[in-house]
Homo-oligomer: A and B are copies of this chain.
Amino acid sequence: MSQKGKNEWAVVLVSGGLDSCVTAAIADLDYRLAFLHLNYGQRTEERELRAFHEIADYYRVEKRLVASVAYLKEIGGSSLTDEAIPVSLADLDNPNIPTSYIPFRNAHLLSVAVSWGEVLGACKIFIGVVEEDSSGYPDCREEFYRAFNRVIALGTRPETRIEILTPLIRMTKAEIVRKGAELQAPLGLTWSCYQGNERACGRCDSCALRLRGFARAGLPDPILYEG
């Protein structure tokens, strides 16, 4: 967990959720960590930020950037940022894009990571997106990241070498839970729920995916749930 003895910087996008925590654990194996968190007026902004700092403390990460992309709330279009749009109840078999989709959100995460990474001299950006076991967001697909890597290569200085890595993208939630346990990631510090309460709701898409992942991995979820 020490950041010493590693030479190359990686920017890790850390929402504070399960997936980003396991992604940080993977990045920590080989890179010096710089943690990036975005506030975009999501309902759970404060709770996520607490998880972000607790995970950063665990990995002794000194370089932290919390960037506000509050304009995403002003733009709206998602139940995560617009109080007028209800959070969908979990329906993991529904092929439609859920109401929690924030238009083109991951492009904002990546753009901030690239700008910061270029100034830091980082060579990698880690993002814990999951394609197969996700909620069907279009910006969680592997080909989106391949295309974004091309944009990075074309849109930064010639000497900049930044590549996005998505180590979880082909994993199921159960595999992510197991990988986190194997790497001693601090899963008890994470927050995944789309509702903003003290305990996780257990009913939104994100809670449902998480609970199913722990159940399938045969491991207990260390966080507390309502009811």
Q: Which residues of A contact B (CB under 8 A)?
A: 65, 67-72, 74-77, 97, 101-108, 110-112, 114-116, 118-119, 138-139, 141, 143-144, 147-148, 150-152, 154-158
Contact = CB atoms under 8 A, between A and B. Distances in A.
A144 B155 contact: yes
The CB with the most chain B CB atoms within 10 A, among A104, A148, A150, is that of A104
B154 A97 contact: no
Interface residues of chain A: helix, strand, loop or mixed (majority) = helix
Given A102-B115, A103-B114, A147-B150, 14 more contacts: A65-B75, A68-B68, A75-B112, A75-B116, A103-B119, A103-B156, A104-B115, A105-B115, A107-B114, A108-B115, A144-B155, A147-B155, A148-B151, A148-B155
A55 B166 CA distance: 42
A147 B151 contact: yes
Nearest to A40: B115
Contact of A75 (B115, B141, B143): B115
B147 A154 contact: yes
Contacts of A110: 107
A67 B76 contact: no
Contacts of A77: 115, 118-119
